[in-house]
Amino acid sequence: MGKWPIKKHDHVLIPAGTIHCSGKNSMVLEISATPYIFTFKLWDWGRMGLDGKPRPINIGHGQKVINWSLGPERTKRELINTVSVVDEGPGWREERTGLHEREFIETRRHWFTGKVAHHPGGSVNVLNLVEGREAIVESPSGAFEAFVVHYAETFVIPSAVGEYTIRPYGEGEGQLCATMKAFVRKNA
């Protein structure tokens, strides 16, 4: 068993079959695609479902799909903060954060203090403002009306709009801001 302290903006990859949970005082942004995968809960901390009954626990099914090769050392080495810088420019930096190579979704984190251009790359983009109070999302071509997002809000940009920009706005001006972006990999 492995247990690692986390801090804000740590990135943990959780491929299928990985036993995991978050600890006390954690806020988790979970980015996943589960069209053909199930989550089998081995423990649920006594949480209740919408029907007021305990949520189902699936120990039998879960045991069958655990990836036993992901021991603590391999997990720490391959799945925690495997972030790499892929591009940067004046006032912005783009990092590849994952997801795991077996997933068909890619995630990128953009740090910025000014305007940063985004290109949908032929895929819908799903973003979340993970740092900074406010940012504004704009279309240089006028494909959509500009809109403001706030910390921890999620927003979707269709691929058809083409290039769009994000920059600090309002209470976010003068702050370092960051978005987490998910999109379908080209080779998926």
Averaged over 29-54, what is the pLDDT? 77
Contact 39, 126 (CB under 8 A): no
Protein fold of 84-184: Jelly Rolls (2.60.120)
Averaged over 119-140, what is the pLDDT? 95
Amino acid at 137: V
Contact 179, 129 (CB under 8 A): yes
Give the separation between CA 184 and CA 123, rounded to whole angstroms: 6
Q: How confident is the model at residue 177 (pLDDT cuts 50, 70, 90)?
A: very high
What are the distances in angstroms from CA 7 to CA 137, 151, 160? 27, 17, 36
Domain ranges of the chain: 1-81, 84-184
Which structure tokens are listed for 107? Answer: 């995630």
Give the separation between CA 115 and CA 166, rounded to whole angstroms: 6
Q: Is the pLDDT of residue 50 over 80?
A: yes
Q: Is the pLDDT of residue 188 over 60?
A: no
Q: Is the pLDDT of residue 146 over 90?
A: yes
Nearest one of 5, 18, 2 to 98, comparing CA atoms = 18
Chain-wide mean pLDDT for the chain? 86
Residues of the chain with pLDDT > 90: what percent?
Answer: 48
